[in-house]
């Protein structure tokens, strides 16, 4: 099994709680803790506006780093999906993957052998509201069968995120559809999050397993707030 870390050490100028230096230091912790729980092959995909991610090589020369600047959408999940897809060719084929977002890290209780104890599953992770119409599957971290399956899900996720607002799911969306017959609306009125798209896709198409906890944590930083997330 390999570990895949996704990161944006240097964002495109939008205000964030953490400085690039803090993001770098947090990602170094992520890598260190991944190695501590037994990951020997770690890949890092980064879409920063500069190549500062290669500073990680000073501390962890064995980490495989792919850096690619890309257009940044307001939907951060869309950016992550494109980042992974554009660099997926760097990963070995037929190997299980533990994907984790940079600045999150495994904590006491984490067991990468959960993949072995759930043989036959396509994807394992933390989800909520799977008994409701709109569910969420956390994309902060998850186990997935291999890069081919990851590609399939990400392509479907992007399509679903962008197309969802065109569908009819209730009265409001029905009225939007009728309105568009007389006054076409360019683009999408709204988009699903990557977490919502993943949940829709894996519920319908894949053999999944939800856990109560993955035993990862990290800080999520919005424009002007900071929260410790534990999953």
Mean pLDDT value across residues 193-203? 95
Which of 50, 44, 55 lies closest to 87 in space, CA to CA? 44
Q: pLDDT per residue over 88-97, tens digit each?
A: 999 999 999 9
Give tens-digit pLDDT for 107-155. 999 999 999 889 889 999 999 999 888 899 999 999 999 999 999 999 9
Q: What is the CATH number of the domain that holds 191?
A: 3.90.550.10
Q: Which residue did the predictor score with more confidence, 188 or 67? A: 67
Q: How far apart are the first and last CA of the chain?
A: 21
Per-residue pLDDT, 20: 86
Q: What is the pTM of this model?
A: 0.89
The rounded percent of the chain whose pLDDT value lies above 70 is 84
Rounded Cα gap, residues 164 and 168, in angstroms? 9
Identify the helix (H) or strand (E) that includes residue 127.
strand 123-128
| Rama region for 230: left / alpha / beta (φ>0; ψ in -120 to 50; rest) | beta
Q: Containing domain of residue 69, as a range?
A: 2-230
Mean pLDDT, to the nearest integer, of 164-176? 54
The number of CA neighbours under 13 Å toward the Cβ of 212 is 1
Number of domains in the chain: 1
pLDDT-wise least confident of 7-16, 42-51, 193-202: 7-16
pLDDT, tens digit, 9 for 90 and up, residues 68-81: 998 888 888 999 99
């Amino acid at each position: 099994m390999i570990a895949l870390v996704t990161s944006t050490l240097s964002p495109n100028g939008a205000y964030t709680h953490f400085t690039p230096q803090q993001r770098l230091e947090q990602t170094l912790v992520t890598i260190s803790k991944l190695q501590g729980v037994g990951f020997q092959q770690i890949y890092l995909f980064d879409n920063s506006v500069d190549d500062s991610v290669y500073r990680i090589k000073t501390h962890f020369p064995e980490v495989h780093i792919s850096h690619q600047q890309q257009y940044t959408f307001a939907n951060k999940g869309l950016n992550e999906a494109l980042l992974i897809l554009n660099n997926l060719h760097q990963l070995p084929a037929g190997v299980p993957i533990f994907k984790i977002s940079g600045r999150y890290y495994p904590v006491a209780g984490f067991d990468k052998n959960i993949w072995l104890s759930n043989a036959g599953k396509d994807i394992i992770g933390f989800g909520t509201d799977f008994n409701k119409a709109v569910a969420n599957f956390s994309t902060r971290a998850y186990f997935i069968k291999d890069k081919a399956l990851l590609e399939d899900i990400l392509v479907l996720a992007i399509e679903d995120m962008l197309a969802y607002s065109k569908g009819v799911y209730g009265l409001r969306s029905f009225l939007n559809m009728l309105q568009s017959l007389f006054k076409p609306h360019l683009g999408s009125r709204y988009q699903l999050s990557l977490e919502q798209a993943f949940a829709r896709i894996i519920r319908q198409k894949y053999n999944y397993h939800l856990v109560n906890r993955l035993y990862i944590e990290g800080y999520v930083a919005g424009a002007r707030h900071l929260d410790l997330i534990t999953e």
